[in-house]
Amino acid sequence: MHPVVVLLAALLTSGVGTLGGLGGAIILVPLLVIGGMTPAEVAPLGLLSVVAASSAAARRQMNEHTTNHRIGVVTESASTAGAIAGALAAGLISERALTLMLAVVALVAALAGGRRKGMRWKPDERAGKDVVGEWIGTMNGAYSLNGSVVPYVSKRIGAGLAAIGVSGIVTGLSGVGGGFIKTPAKSELMHVPVKVSSSTTTFSIGITAAAALIVKVIHGDLDVQLGAAVILGSLAGGLIGANVQSKMSPIVVRKFLSVLLVAVAAILILKVL
């Protein structure tokens, strides 16, 4: 495939993926496979896309205090281990079975987020601007929304870690970032606000993908020329996606995420038909 085509695909998918907190690889990987590349060729490019887009979006999201690093690091302890195990076990599960499994997970996550109405965490008029950000020593925090402050408290940490550990295995097996599991897991299982969940996932999936990417590079699976195109496109896409997301309301972000997950499931199902 021509590098310019790959660059444009990475730009588009990274922008959309960052906007929804999914990581663009969940869309980029099946698109490149449909375009004629093999899953083995595409997997390291998907991982590289996740790392580049995550790096590009990080500064904007950290400046807005929507990234909770403690949540990100704690959940990555499970996800990174899963990613390494998945990368080493690649090939043990058939491509068709893995693809259908990913589609089902995407649809379940879309349903969980789409059926919920309104906002779980409401603005607190008593909270001052000084509490915005992650609260040190906890997995809680607050973020700004239209001039108000919205505090939140993370819940059901164990269930969230279990789901995010599965996302790491998915990353290692398929080359996608696992964000389509991580963002809904944080938002719906752990009750983290969707904007915080999306930003934290964009930050954390870069760590997981980097762990799996090392294994792919050691095995010599990465095409350097196409890899350079993916980096350029994903860096630009990550910046654009983060800028657009910062202007969207939490409800719009959640609805967009649900629609995007349905689209991802459709792409995956079409891939195996």
pLDDT 10s digits, 186-195 = 888 888 887 8
Residue 185 CA from chain centroid, whole number: 11
> Residues 216-246: pLDDT tens digits?
788 777 778 888 998 899 888 888 887 887 7
Q: Look-up: residue for tokens 């993908």?
A: 209
pLDDT score recorded for residue 218: 82
DSSP 69-102: HHHHHHHHHHHHHHHHHHHHTTTSS-HHHHHHHH
Summarize the confidence of residues 148-176 as an average pLDDT.
81
Instruction: Give the integer Cα–Cα distance in Å for 97 and 53.
Output: 28
**pTM over cut 0.85:** no
d(CA 178, CA 26): 8
Contacts of 190 (CB under 8 A, 6+ apart): 71, 154, 155, 156, 157, 159, 160, 197
pLDDT tens for each residue of 141-152 = 888 877 788 889
Among the listed residues 109, 106, 73, 82, the one whose alpha carbon sits nearest the alpha carbon of residue 204: 73
Rounded to the nearest integer, the mean pLDDT of the chain is 79
Taking CA atoms, 232 is separated from 175, 204, 239, in Å, by 18, 20, 11
What is the 8-class DSSP label of residue 20? H
Question: pLDDT by residue (tens digit) across 49-76?
Answer: 888 887 787 777 777 788 888 888 888 8
Pair 71, 200: CB distance under 8 Å? yes
Q: Which residues pair with 143 in a beta bridge?
A: 150
